[in-house]
Amino acid sequence: MRTLDIAATGLQAQQTNVEVISNNIANMSTTGYKRRRAEFQDLIYQNLRRAGSQSSDQGTVLPSGAQLGLGVRTAAIYRISEQGSLTQTENRFDLAVRGNGYFPVTLPSGETAYTRAGSFGLSPEGTIVTADGFPVSGGIVVPAAARDVTINAAGEVLVKLDGQVQPQNVGQIQIAIFPNEGGLEATGDNMFLATPASGQAQPGVPGGVGYGQIQQGFLESSNVNVVQEITNLITAQRAYEMNSKVITAGDEMLSTLTRMR
């Protein structure tokens, strides 16, 4: 009886679905988080009677045949790159990207990671760094004597110093875009790495063609819709229960066979 195996794949699929939903809900307050969606595929089919095969000596053929499906599997877990809402923080080193683009960050290993979470600060040397102390690519240093720091929509870091009328440009924040954002590898800590699936990073100036703009004093909120996630959770729970009932029914049918004399 294939029922037990088929229903077991359904249980595994819905378990994965619930895990994805639970991760979305857990990160509903995570800066720059992009919700995920599980996608499923049906498994290979067993042909009991192949469609189009000859059914008589007169050349008649089967119009539809008989195929038995063998269950379901997880095909992918997609990341939905929809823009999250921007929340004003009044912190001059909080930055958000309105539109496409990721902030490049240099990891201690020397690799470049990418993030949408622009909750930055200053290192003891005045370098703009992430919450974990990793420098934003470009090594922009804000002088200790700076009275004010402005980061415009194009990513230029302008500081005001005593005795100077015009702001001084101390660096340029760039952002990077990818041919396929969904191919980025999430490594935790709001960081992503480029992969062969994502394609090479294409750095550019904020506000350019295809690139988003920088918003100083804002952070991008998670794009998780809690109401939708709860609805998806209930649907997945019901589907899990239905698969468990199929297993119960299959077990009862097997018990009937073993009791036959």
Q: Which has the minimum average pLDDT: 14-18, 138-142, 161-165, 225-229?
A: 161-165
Q: How far apart are CA 246 and CA 252, in angstroms?
A: 10
Exposure of 227 by Cβ count < 10 A (0-12 exposed, 13-18 middle, 19+ buried)?
exposed
pLDDT average, residue stretch 155-183:
91
Its pTM stands at: 0.86
Confidence of residue 133 (pLDDT cuts 50, 70, 90): very high
Amino acid 205: pLDDT? 94
